[in-house]
A and B are shown apart, each in its own frame.
Chain A
Amino acid sequence: QKEVEQNSGPLSVPEGAIASLNCTYSDRGSQSFFWYRQYSGKSPELIMFIYSNGDKEDGRFTAQLNKASQYVSLLIRDSQPSDSATYLCAAGGQGAQKLVFGQGTRLTINP
């Protein structure tokens, strides 16, 4: 069974610091990886996606992919209290239609 594993947290980070969220996946055939942010009681919101090994940066967010280690991470620089949410990691195959989600990591940014 294809699995995506995340530490459920909570992960507590001081405001202004770097938050590091990690995810591992079991299916070596996975080719697309996504990070979603979900505020309590709201729907998941796509914040980053990555398909190739290495880093991808978008503003304060950096996604990192290491296919050899089957590892995906999300770095949030200059963390803000508004970044406090649950972050979901998802992995998909070539077509990315059948995504497998991790259980999410709850992140708290402390002012």
Chain B
Amino acid sequence: DAGITQSPRHKVTETGTPVTLRCHQTENHRYMYWYRQDPGHGLRLIHYSYGVKDTDKGEVSDGYSVSRSKTEDFLLTLESATSSQTSVYFCAISEMYEQYFGPGTRLTVT
């Protein structure tokens, strides 16, 4: 998985609670991304980062925030989890164009 770890790998949480997912890379790549993958929708970009403290929104950013205080870490926060945010979340990294994906986090919001 190209030196990418995600934590936790599985999480069950209740509606309305905040949740933070972590992505950690050892490749020193400039760009980091958060995607969600749902049946019928494929992979959709939530947010991405192009440097420390530099982030931008993706296609489905509502209800999510991100932070990147170090090159190696990119955090995704669900401010108040909803059942529609039940999904598999993938982190990806890139230095130029090719993106490499982490192992994923399966999040269930009950």
Contact = CB atoms under 8 A, between A and B. Distances in A.
B12 to A, nearest CB: 17
A31 B102 CA distance: 24
A97 interface: yes
A88 B35 CA distance: 14
Interface in A15-38: 32, 34, 36
A48 to B, nearest CB: 10
Q: How large is the interface on B (under 10, 10 to 19, 20 to 34, 35 or more residues)?
A: 20 to 34
Interface residues of A, number: 23
Interface string A32-59: 1010100000111110010100000000
B41 interface: yes
A89 to B, nearest CB: 10
Interface string B37-72: 000111111001010000000110000000000000
Contact of A45 (B44, B96, B101): B101
Q: Which 9 A-B pairs have the closest CB atoms?
A: A96-B97, A101-B43, A103-B42, A43-B101, A101-B42, A44-B101, A43-B104, A32-B97, A43-B103
